[in-house]
C-alpha cells in the first residue's frame, strides 16, 4: 500500500476563459519511509504539487489516495486530523505566526494535539536544543534573520513527530553548514521511518533522498532512482 | 489551551490599538446605556414588591359606562365596595380603603404645617401592607376615630424634639387628633404614598360624608385574597355584586359600573402613570437599549471582519498545523469575550459616572447601591455574554472558514459578498440612528406644541393661591379686594379650581333629559373669564348686577353641542334646583391634552358658599417682590394660615413632566446611538483609507486633487447613508404616527422633520468620512508609496 498515490492529477487556473495548466497528468506513488526529492525550474509547479500532497489544495482533475483513502472524499475534519497527527509542512516562505514567539510558534501544533503540558515542554525544549535556538526562544519572527526563521519553520513542522514531512525548499535560506545539518536531521528522521518529500534546487541536497522526480511545466519529465 | 487563546487575544488587541480603542469605546457606551436602562426598568418593576402579601393583594378598579360607552376608568370609588366584597365573597380575606390624598394643615404648639398628602385608611392597613411602624401598635393604631399616624419625616417636622406618640394635634383648625404611630416614609417605589394616615373610623364621625353606594367616589380599595385564590375567580363574581348593589338601580338610566381586580405589583407599570402607558414606554426604552447594544456589536463585527484580512495568513498556517475550525472559532470568541468583559468593566465606571445625570433626567431618586443585587448581576453577565457572542460569532465563523491555501499564497481577498454584508450593517445602523433622530425631533415638537398650544385661555403670569380651610375661605372676598390694591395685580378671581388637570364631575339633568348626565363643573366668580381670557360667545357672563346670577349657569360650546342646543340661552339645567343658562364660553382646555374638550358647566355659587382657590393675574418685572406683596396681604388678613402659591404655567409644565423626562431619556440615548453609528463609520473609513494609502499615493502622483480623493472615499459611504434614510423614513413615520395617536391634540408629522434628520445624518457622516480621507490625501505621495 503506497502512502501517497496520485492518478492523473491536473491543476489549472482559468482567467478570461483561458486555462493555464500548472500540473498536467501527474502520476506518482510514494511508499512509506521513502525520501523523495522534487526538482524543476521556477514555476514548474513544485509547490503546487506539494500543497496538493499536503491536502492544502485540491486538484481540478485526477485522484489522490492517501493510504488508499480517496482524499477528495475526506471531510475537512478528517484532513484536520491528518494535519494534526501525521503531516508536517515546511513552507517555502516559512509562514511563521508574527504574533507568536519562537517558542510559541513551535509549541502551536502540540497545543492543537492536546499534548500534556509537561510532555509538551520537554518536546519543545528538545527541539530548541537540537536546532540550537534556545537563546532565541522568546524572540518574535521579525526579530530573526531569514535563515533563523526557516529553522523555526522546520522545527515547528517536526516537533509533533509527523510520519510524513513535506518540505518546500527547507534549506533555501540557510548557509551550507546549517543546510547540511538540516539534511542530516531529515535523514535521521527518515531512517527512523518518517516519509519525506522535499522540494529543492540543489542537486547536493537531492542526493540525500532515494528518488528524484523532475518537473517541467507541470509534467513529470524524468524520474531517477538513487 | 485557553491560556494560549487569551495570550493571542491580548496581543492582537494590543497590536491594533486604535481599533481596539474604538471597539472598547463603542461597546462600553452601549453596555453602560443598557445597564442604565435595565436599572431604570428594574426600578419601575420593583414598585410595590416590598409588601410581604404582594401576591395576594389587589386593587379594585372600576370602569364607568354610560349607554354602553366607556366614560372613564378609575380605582377611586365608593367606600362600600370593600366591605360588601368581604361580606359576600369567602375568597376575600380582608380589605383596606385609602382615601384620595388631601392636603391638611396641622397645628401644634402654635406652628402650622401643611401636609400635602393625608389619607384616611382602614384599620387593616398595617396588617395587609408592609409599611413599617417605628412607634405605636400596628394592630390598633388606626382603630379609634381621630387617630393619626405620621410618617417619619412629617413627625420630625411637627415634633423636632419631643416624642410624638400620644400627642394631640389640631387639623384644619377644627378637630383634634391623637398621634398613635410613626411610620417609616413610604419608599419611592411604592404606589401608595402618604405623609399621614388618619383612621377611617374618623370619617363616620364627620358630617356630610356620604358612605353609601351612590357616590362619594373618594376611596381606593385594596383587597387581600385567600392564599391560592385566583383573581379570575373573584372577577367572575364581581358583576353579580355590582348588579345587586349598584347597576340594578342605574340600569334604567343606562349607567353601568364594571369592577375588576388589578394585581398590586402590576399597578405601577400597567395601570397608573402616563395614562397607563408606562409599559409601552419601558418597552421603547428596552428596545432602544438593545438597539444601541446591537449597533456597538455591529461596529465590532465590521471592524473585525475588515481586520481579518490582515490575519488571513495566520489562519492558514494554523490550519496546516492542525487547528480545527473549533480551535479557530474559540480563538476569535476568546478575543470578543475578552473585549466584551473589558468593555463591561469600563461600562461599570461609566454607569457610576453618569448615574446622577441619568436619575436626574429620568426624575427618579434611586441610589446605585440598591441595585447591586443578584438580578442586575445576572443581567450584566447575560449582557457580557450576549455582546461577546453577538459580536464575536460572525467574525469567528467567517474567518475560520478561510481556505488555507489561498491565504498562504497571499492571493486572499475578501469576497464581494462580504463587502455587501458590511454595507448592509452600516445601512442597518444608520437606519436605526435616523429613526431615533426623527422620533426625538417629533417628540420634541409635540411637547413644544403642547406648551405653546392655544389652550383657549392664557396661562402665563397667573399666580394661584390655595385657600386651605374654612376660616381662610370665609375671608376670600376680603383677600380678593385687598389683592387688587397691589399695583402689579391686574385681575383676581375666586374659583373652585384652575384649568389644568381637569375639573370634577357631577350628575345633572339638562332640560329635556330624564336621566342624569355626568358633566364637568367649576365654580367661578365673574372675573374668571377676563382673567383667563376666556371669551363668551353667546349670552353674557356672571354679573354682580343681577342677584339671580347666583343660581345661573354658564356652559361651554361642547356641552351646547352635545345637548343639541342651538340657542342655549334661557335653557335650564336641574340639580338642587333649576338653573338658567345665561352664557356660553368658547371651548378651553381644562384637562390634559390627552383628552378632548368635554362638556362643562360653570356655576357662580361654590360648594358651601366658599371658594377654595384664588387666581391672580399680574404684570411684573420683579416677581419675587410681587409675591412678597401678595404674601403681605395674606399675612395681614389670615396671619396663621400657611401661604402657598404656584405659577400656573409652571404647574402646566409639571403636568407633562413624564413626557418631558421620557423625551430627555430618549434624546440622550438617541444621541448615543447616533454617536456609535458614527464611530462605526469612522473606523470603517479609517480602515479603508489605510488599505488604500498606496492607491492614493499613486493617484496623487498622477495628478488627482485632494477633493477628488475625498470624493473617492466619501461616495460609497454617502450612498449607504442615503439608503439608510430612505429605509428609516417610512418606519419612523409609522412608529411616530402610532405613538402620537395617544394625544387628542397632536402635531402633523410633515416632511420637514425627515429632511432635517436626513441632513443631519448625511452631513455628519460625510464629515466623518472626509476627515479620514483628508488625512490620507494629505500624506506626501512618496511616503504613501513607501508605506507598502
Ligand atoms: N492563484 C493562481 N492563479 C494563477 N496562477 C497561479 C496561481 N497560483 C500559482 N499559479 C501559477 O502556477 C505556477 C506554478 O507555481 P508554483 O508555486 O507551484 O511554482 P514552483 O515550481 O513552486 O516555483 P518556485 O521554484 O519559484 O517556487 C506558476 O506559474 C504560478 O504563476
Ligand atoms: Mg515553489
B578 and B712 belong to one structural domain = no
**Segment among A35-49, B212-226, B684-698 with least mean pLDDT:** B684-698
Per-residue pLDDT at B503:
83
Percent of chain B with pLDDT over 70: 95
Torsion angle of the four alpha carbons B732, B737, B738, B741, in this order, in degrees rounded to the nearest 10: 150
Q: Do B324 and A112 touch (CB under 8 A)?
A: yes
Is 90 exceeded by the pLDDT of residue B555?
Answer: yes
Is 50 exceeded by the pLDDT of residue B113?
Answer: yes
B256 and B304 belong to one structural domain = no
B431 and B347 belong to one structural domain = yes
Per-residue pLDDT at B489:
92
Distance of CA A63 from the midpoint of ligand 2 (Å) = 22
Last residue in a domain, options B275, B307, B339: B275
B138 and B20 belong to one structural domain = no
Last residue in a domain, options B275, B302, B333: B275
pTM for this predicted structure: 0.78
B317 and B421 belong to one structural domain = yes
pLDDT tens per residue, range B415-425: 555 677 888 88
Q: Which three cell numbers stand for residue B258?
A: 364594571
Is 90 exceeded by the pLDDT of residue B658?
Answer: no
Q: Where does residue B577 rank: exposed (0-12), middle (13-18), buried (19+ CB within 10 A)?
A: exposed
For residue B498, is it within any domain? yes
Per-residue pLDDT at B293:
87
Question: Residue B502 and residue B595: Cα distance in Å, rounded?
Answer: 10
For residue B227, is it within any domain? yes
Q: Return the ligand number nearest the Cα of A215.
A: 1
Looking at ligand 1, which atom is closest to the CA of residue B411? Answer: 1
Is 60 exceeded by the pLDDT of residue A204?
Answer: yes
Q: Which three cell numbers stand for residue B267?
A: 399597578
Q: Chain-wide mean pLDDT for chain B? A: 86
A33-58+75-225: CATH number: 3.40.50.300
Q: Which three cell numbers stand for residue B288?
A: 432602544
- Give helix then strand counts, H and E, for chain B: 24, 24
pLDDT tens per residue, range B321-330: 888 888 888 8
Question: Residue B326 and residue B331: Cα distance in Å, rounded?
Answer: 8
Question: Residue A149 and residue A95: Cα distance in Å, rounded?
Answer: 9
Per-residue pLDDT at B370:
66
**Segment among B272-276, B374-378, B562-566, B771-775 with least mean pLDDT:** B272-276
B687 and B741 belong to one structural domain = yes
Task: Name which of A108, A113, A114 is nearest B318 (Cβ-Cβ).
Answer: A108
Q: Which residues line ligand 1 (CB under 6 A)?
A: A 13, 20, 22, 40, 42-48, 92; B 409, 411
For residue B460, is it within any domain? no
Q: Which pLDDT band holds residue B215 (cuts at 50, 70, 90)?
A: low
B265 and B312 belong to one structural domain = no
**What residue ranges in B613-722 does DSSP mark as E strands?**
613-618, 645-647
B679 and B697 belong to one structural domain = yes
Ramachandran area for residue B632 (φ above 0: left; ψ -120 to 50: alpha; else beta)? alpha
The residue among B322, B325, B410 with the most chain A CBs within 10 A of its CB, best to mutate, is: B322
For residue B646, is it within any domain? no
Per-residue pLDDT at B238:
92
Last residue in a domain, options B275, B304, B327: B275
Which residue in B has a C-alpha nearest to residue A78's C-alpha? B324
B429 and B474 belong to one structural domain = no
Q: Do A95 and B316 touch (CB under 8 A)?
A: yes
The Cα angle at residue A185 between residues A181 and A191, in degrees rounded to 5: 145
Q: Do B405 and A99 touch (CB under 8 A)?
A: no
Mean pLDDT of the A104-113 span: 88
Per-residue pLDDT at B788:
39
**Segment among B272-276, B382-386, B704-708 with least mean pLDDT:** B272-276
Is 80 exceeded by the pLDDT of residue B434?
Answer: yes
Range of the domain at B150: 54-275
pLDDT tens per residue, range B80-94: 899 999 999 999 999
Question: Residue A96 and residue A91: Cα distance in Å, rounded?
Answer: 9
Question: Residue B322 and residue A112: Cα distance in Å, rounded?
Answer: 6
For residue B59, is it within any domain? yes
Q: Do B408 and A109 touch (CB under 8 A)?
A: no
For residue B49, is it within any domain? no
Of B1, B408, B323, B412, nearest to A90 (Cα)? Answer: B408
Is 70 exceeded by the pLDDT of residue B151?
Answer: yes
Percent of chain B with pLDDT over 90: 32
B634 and B689 belong to one structural domain = no
Per-residue pLDDT at B787:
44
Q: Return the ligand number nearest the Cα of A214.
A: 1
For residue B645, is it within any domain? no
Q: Which pLDDT band holds residue A36 (cuts at 50, 70, 90)?
A: very high
Question: Residue B520 and residue B502: Cα distance in Å, rounded?
Answer: 8
Cβ neighbours, 10 Å, residue B494: 23
Per-residue pLDDT at B681:
85
**Segment among A99-103, B33-37, B143-147, B310-314 with least mean pLDDT:** B310-314
Question: Residue B108 and residue B171: Cα distance in Å, rounded?
Answer: 9
Is 90 exceeded by the pLDDT of residue B316?
Answer: no
Is 90 exceeded by the pLDDT of residue A84?
Answer: no
Mean pLDDT of the B312-338 span: 86
B227 and B141 belong to one structural domain = yes
B144 and B37 belong to one structural domain = no
pLDDT tens per residue, range B348-362: 999 889 888 888 888
Q: Chain-wide mean pLDDT for chain A? A: 91
Q: Looking at beta carbons, which residues of chain A come within 8 Å of B11?
A: 99
Shortest Cα distance, chain B CAs vs residue A176, angstroms: 27
For residue B48, is it within any domain? no
Torsion angle of the four alpha carbons B542, B543, B544, B550, in this order, in degrees rounded to the nearest 10: -30
Of B506, B554, B564, B563, nearest to B534 (Cα)? Answer: B554
Question: Residue B302 and residue B769: Cα distance in Å, rounded?
Answer: 16
Is 60 exceeded by the pLDDT of residue B363?
Answer: yes
Of B600, B540, B611, nearest to B573 (Cα)? Answer: B600
Q: Which three cell numbers stand for residue B108?
A: 401644634
Q: CA Rg, chain B, in Å?
A: 34
Amino acid at each position: 500500500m503506497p502512502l501517497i498515490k496520485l492518478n492523473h492529477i491536473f491543476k489549472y487556473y482559468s482567467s478570461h476563459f483561458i486555462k493555464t495548466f500548472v500540473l498536467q497528468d501527474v502520476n506518482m506513488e510514494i511508499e512509506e519511509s521513502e525520501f523523495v526529492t522534487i526538482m524543476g525550474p521556477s514555476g514548474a509547479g513544485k509547490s503546487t504539487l506539494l500543497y496538493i500532497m499536503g491536502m492544502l489544495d485540491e486538484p481540478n482533475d485526477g485522484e489522490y489516495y492517501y493510504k488508499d483513502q480517496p482524499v477528495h472524499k475526506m471531510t475537512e475534519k478528517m484532513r484536520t486530523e491528518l494535519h494534526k497527527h501525521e503531516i508536517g509542512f515546511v513552507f517555502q516562505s516559512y509562514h511563521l505566526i508574527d504574533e507568536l514567539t519562537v517558542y510559541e510558534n513551535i509549541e502551536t501544533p502540540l497545543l492543537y494535539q492536546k499534548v500534556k503540558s509537561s510532555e509538551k515542554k520537554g518536546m519543545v525544549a528538545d527541539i530548541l536544543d537540537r536546532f540550537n535556538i534556545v537563546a532565541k526562544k522568546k524572540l518574535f519572527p521579525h526579530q530573526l534573520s531569514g535563515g533563523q526563521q526557516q529553522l523555526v519553520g522546520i522545527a515547528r513542522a517536526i516537533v509533533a513527530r509527523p510520519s510524513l514531512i513535506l518540505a518546500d525548499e527547507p534549506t533555501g535560506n540557510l548557509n551550507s553548514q546549517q543546510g547540511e545539518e538540516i539534511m542530516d536531521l531529515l535523514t535521521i528522521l527518515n531512517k527512523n521511518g518518517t516519509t519525506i518529500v522535499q522540494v529543492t534546487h540543489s542537486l547536493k541536497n537531492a542526493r540525500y533522498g532515494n528518488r528524484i522526480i523532475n518537473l517541467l511545466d507541470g509534467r513529470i519529465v524524468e524520474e531517477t532512482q538513487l | 489551551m485557553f491560556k494560549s487563546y487569551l495570550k493571542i487575544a491580548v496581543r492582537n488587541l494590543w497590536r491594533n490599538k486604535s481599533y481596539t480603542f474604538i471597539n472598547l469605546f463603542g461597546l462600553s457606551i452601549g453596555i453602560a446605556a443598557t445597564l442604565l436602562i435595565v436599572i431604570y426598568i428594574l426600578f419601575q418593576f420593583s414598585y410595590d414588591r416590598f409588601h410581604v402579601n404582594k401576591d395576594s393583594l389587589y386593587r379594585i378598579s372600576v370602569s364607568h359606562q354610560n349607554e354602553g360607552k366607556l366614560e372613564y376608568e378609575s380605582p377611586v370609588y365608593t367606600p362600600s365596595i370593600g366591605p360588601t366584597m368581604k361580606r359576600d365573597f369567602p375568597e376575600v380575606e380582608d380589605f383596606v380603603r385609602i382615601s384620595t390624598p388631601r392636603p391638611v394643615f396641622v397645628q401644634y404648639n402654635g406652628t402650622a404645617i401643611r401636609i400635602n398628602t393625608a389619607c384616611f385608611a382602614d384599620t387593616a392597613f398595617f396588617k395587609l401592607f408592609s409599611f413599617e411602624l417605628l412607634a405605636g401598635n400596628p394592630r390598633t393604631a388606626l382603630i379609634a376615630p381621630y387617630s393619626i399616624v405620621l410618617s417619619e419625616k412629617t413627625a420630625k417636622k411637627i415634633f423636632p424634639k419631643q416624642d410624638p406618640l400620644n400627642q394631640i394635634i389640631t387639623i384644619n383648625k377644627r378637630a383634634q387628633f391623637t398621634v398613635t404611630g410613626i411610620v417609616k416614609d413610604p419608599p419611592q417605589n411604592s404606589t401608595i404614598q402618604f405623609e399621614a394616615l388618619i383612621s377611617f373610623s374618623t370619617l363616620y364621625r364627620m358630617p356630610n360624608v356620604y358612605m353609601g353606594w351612590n357616590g362619594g367616589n373618594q376611596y381606593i380599595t385594596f383587597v387581600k385574597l385567600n392564599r391560592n385564590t385566583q383573581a379570575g375567580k373573584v372577577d367572575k363574581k364581581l358583576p353579580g355584586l355590582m348588579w345587586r348593589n349598584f347597576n340594578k338601580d342605574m340600569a334604567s338610566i343606562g349607567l353601568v359600573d364594571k369592577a375588576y381586580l388589578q394585581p398590586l405589583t402590576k399597578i405601577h407599570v400597567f395601570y397608573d402613570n402616563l395614562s397607563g402607558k408606562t409599559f409601552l414606554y419601558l418597552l421603547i426604552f428596552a428596545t432602544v437599549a438593545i438597539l444601541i447594544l446591537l449597533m456597538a456589536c455591529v461596529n465590532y463585527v465590521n471592524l473585525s471582519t475588515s481586520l481579518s484580512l490582515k490575519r488571513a495568513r495566520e489562519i492558514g498556517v494554523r490550519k496546516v498545523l492542525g487547528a480545527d475550525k473549533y480551535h479557530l472559532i474559540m480563538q476569535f470568541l476568546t478575543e470578543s469575550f475578552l473585549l466584551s468583559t473589558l468593555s463591561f468593566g469600563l461600562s461599570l465606571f461609566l454607569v457610576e459616572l453618569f448615574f446622577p445625570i441619568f436619575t436626574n433626567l429620568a426624575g427618579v431618586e434611586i441610589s446605585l447601591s440598591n441595585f447591586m443585587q443578584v438580578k442586575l448581576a445576572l443581567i450584566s453577565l447575560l449582557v457580557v455574554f450576549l455582546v461577546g457572542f453577538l459580536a464575536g460569532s460572525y467574525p469567528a465563523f467567517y474567518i475560520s472558514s478561510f481556505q488555507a491555501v489561498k491565504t498562504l499564497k497571499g492571493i486572499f481577498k475578501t469576497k464581494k459578498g462580504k463587502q455587501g454584508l458590511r454595507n448592509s450593517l452600516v445601512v442597518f445602523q444608520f437606519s436605526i440612528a435616523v429613526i431615533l433622530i426623527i422620533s426625538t425631533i417629533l417628540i420634541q415638537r409635540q411637547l413644544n406644541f403642547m406648551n405653546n398650544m392655544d389652550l383657549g385661555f392664557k396661562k402665563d403670569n397667573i399666580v394661584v393661591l390655595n385657600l386651605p380651610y374654612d376660616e381662610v375661605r370665609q375671608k376670600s372676598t376680603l383677600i380678593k379686594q385687598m389683592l387688587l390694591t397691589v399695583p402689579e395685580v391686574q385681575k383676581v378671581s375666586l374659583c373652585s379650581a384652575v384649568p389644568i388637570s381637569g375639573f370634577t364631575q357631577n350628575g345633572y339633568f339638562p332640560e329635556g333629559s330624564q336621566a342624569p348626565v355626568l358633566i364637568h363643573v367649576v365654580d367661578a366668580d365673574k372675573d374668571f373669564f377676563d382673567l383667563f381670557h376666556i371669551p363668551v360667545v353667546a349670552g353674557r357672563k356672571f354679573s354682580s348686577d343681577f342677584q339671580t346670577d347666583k343660581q345661573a349657569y354658564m356652559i361651554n360650546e361642547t356641552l351646547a353641542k352635545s345637548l343639541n342646543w342651538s340657542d342655549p340661552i334661557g335653557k335650564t339645567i336641574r340639580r338642587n334646583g333649576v338653573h338658567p343658562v345665561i352664557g356660553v364660553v368658547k371651548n378651553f382646555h381644562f384637562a390634559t391634552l390627552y383628552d378632548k374638550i368635554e362638556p362643562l358647566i360653570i356655576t357662580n355659587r361654590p360648594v358651601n358658599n366658599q371658594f377654595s382657590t384664588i387666581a391672580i393675574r399680574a404684570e411684573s418685572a420683579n416677581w419675587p417682590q410681587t409675591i412678597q406683596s401678595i404674601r403681605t396681604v395674606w399675612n395681614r388678613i389670615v396671619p396663621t394660615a400657611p401661604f402657598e402659591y404656584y405659577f400656573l404655567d409652571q404647574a402646566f409644565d409639571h403636568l407633562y413632566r413624564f413626557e418631558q423626562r421620557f423625551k430627555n431619556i430618549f434624546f440622550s440615548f438617541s444621541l448615543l446611538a447616533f454617536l456609535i453609528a458614527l464611530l462605526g463609520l469612522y473606523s470603517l473609513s479609517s480602515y479603508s483609507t489605510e488599505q488604500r494609502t498606496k492607491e492614493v499615493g499613486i493617484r496623487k502622483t498622477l495628478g488627482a486633487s485632494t477633493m477628488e480623493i475625498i470624493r473617492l472615499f466619501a461616495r460609497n459611504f454617502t450612498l449607504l447613508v442615503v439608503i439608510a434614510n430612505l429605509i428609516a423614513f417610512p418606519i419612523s413615520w409609522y412608529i411616530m404616527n402610532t405613538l402620537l395617536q395617544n394625544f387628542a391634540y397632536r402635531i402633523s408629522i410633515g416632511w420637514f422633520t425627515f429632511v432635517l434628520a436626513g441632513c443631519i445624518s448625511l452631513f455628519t457622516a460625510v464629515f466623518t468620512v472626509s476627515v479620514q480621507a483628508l488625512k490620507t490625501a494629505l500624506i506626501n505621495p512618496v511616503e504613501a508609496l513607501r508605506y507598502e
